[in-house]
Amino acid sequence: MIGIVDYGMGNLHSVSKALERLELEYILTDDIEQLKKTDGLLLPGVGAFPDAMKTLNEMGLTDFLHEWADSGKPLLGICLGMQLLFDESDEHGQTEGLKLLPGRVERFVGHTANGEMYKVPHMGWNKLTFHKPEHKLLQDVEEGHVYFVHSYVVKHQEEDVLLASSEYDVTVPAVVGQKNVMGTQFHPEKSSHVGMSILRNFGELVTQGGESRE
């Protein structure tokens, strides 16, 4: 059973529909007691980092997510949900994140070193480059295109955490993971067959019980 953390941010409908298509059982709730009973967590998210952290803190979900991460059970953040896993973000000032993964979230600069402008948000289909194709999340997944929509990007992450990336002026960490804590910057639920295979792999990880952080 997968628990989708409903903290009021994001398009929960498309995530849950994607799980239904894959015939993965899930519950969508903000109730910590119910989430505790699940075997894997999905942390979705669309919107602003500070609002999201504020909500997680107020709902007691921050502490819960830390306990969860320590338990070794799988956790997958999607889009903003992935960014929240990192140390901090500079979105509308400095905000501390969940600090489950090392790195910080910064806005796309919007122009190259040569002063050439590029569009922000990074919106559309971009190609993945796998750095750790052997990772369980990426097994039997095509190194293809996935759908991104974001204006902020993870930087200064540890090399070790980067499972896949895409190129958009800067290198965009696209899939990250350290033990049981994982994330995708793109929307797997909107990324056609490539995204669906990643979600299917997450479903398998959940069934297998994840990997302890200790």
Partner 1 sequence: MLTKRIVPCLDVKDGRVVKGIQFVDLKDAGDPVELAAFYDEQGADELVFLDISASHEGRETMVEVVEEVAGTLAIPFTVGGGINSLEDMKRVLRAGADKVSLNTAAIKRPELIKEGADFFGSQCIVVAIDAKYDEELGSWRIYTHGGREATDWEVISWAKEAVRLGAGEILLTSMDQDGAKTGFDLALTKAVNAAVTVPVIASGGAGKKEDFADVFVDAKADAALAASIFHYKETSVAEVKTYLKEKGVTVR
31 binds partner 1 (CB under 8 A): no
47 binds partner 1 (CB under 8 A): yes
Which burial class, exposed, middle or buried, applies to 98 when counting CB atoms under 10 A from its CB (0-12, 13-18, 19+)? buried
Q: Between residues 15 and 100, which has the closer beta carbon with respect to partner 1?
A: 15
Alpha-carbon gap, residue 192 to 198, rounded angstroms: 10
Cα distances from 186 to residues 28, 39, 91, 190, in angstroms, run: 20, 23, 18, 8
Residue of 92, 122, 187, 214 marked catalytic: 187
127 binds partner 1 (CB under 8 A): yes
Residue 79 falls in the annotated catalytic set = yes
Q: Between residues 73 and 187, which has the closer beta carbon with respect to partner 1?
A: 187
Alpha-carbon gap, residue 112 to 191, rounded angstroms: 27
50 binds partner 1 (CB under 8 A): no
Among 1, 8, 20, 143, binds partner 1 (CB under 8 A): 20
117 binds partner 1 (CB under 8 A): yes
Residue 77, token pair as written in the block: 């953040």
Among 32, 59, 149, 170, binds partner 1 (CB under 8 A): 149
Of the candidates 23, 24, 45, 41, the one whose C-alpha atom is nearest the C-alpha of residue 32 is 41
Q: Between residues 55 and 71, which has the closer beta carbon with respect to partner 1?
A: 55
Residue 13 falls in the annotated catalytic set = no
Residue of 25, 131, 189, 204 marked catalytic: 189
In this structure, are strands 40-43 and 2-5 parallel, antiparallel, or unpaired? parallel
Q: Is the dihedral of CA 20, 4, 84, 110 positive or negative?
A: positive
Task: Give the x/- contact pattern for partner 1 in 170-199, rule: CB under 8 A.
Answer: -----------------x-xxxxx-xx---
48 binds partner 1 (CB under 8 A): yes
Torsion angles phi and psi, residue 99, rounded to 5: 60, 35
Among 2, 4, 5, 18, binds partner 1 (CB under 8 A): 18
User: Which residues of this chain interact with partner 1, rule CB under 8 A?
Assistant: 11, 13-14, 17-18, 20-21, 46-48, 110, 117, 119-127, 144-145, 147, 149-151, 167-168, 187, 189-193, 195-196
Q: Which residues are catalytic?
A: 79, 187, 189
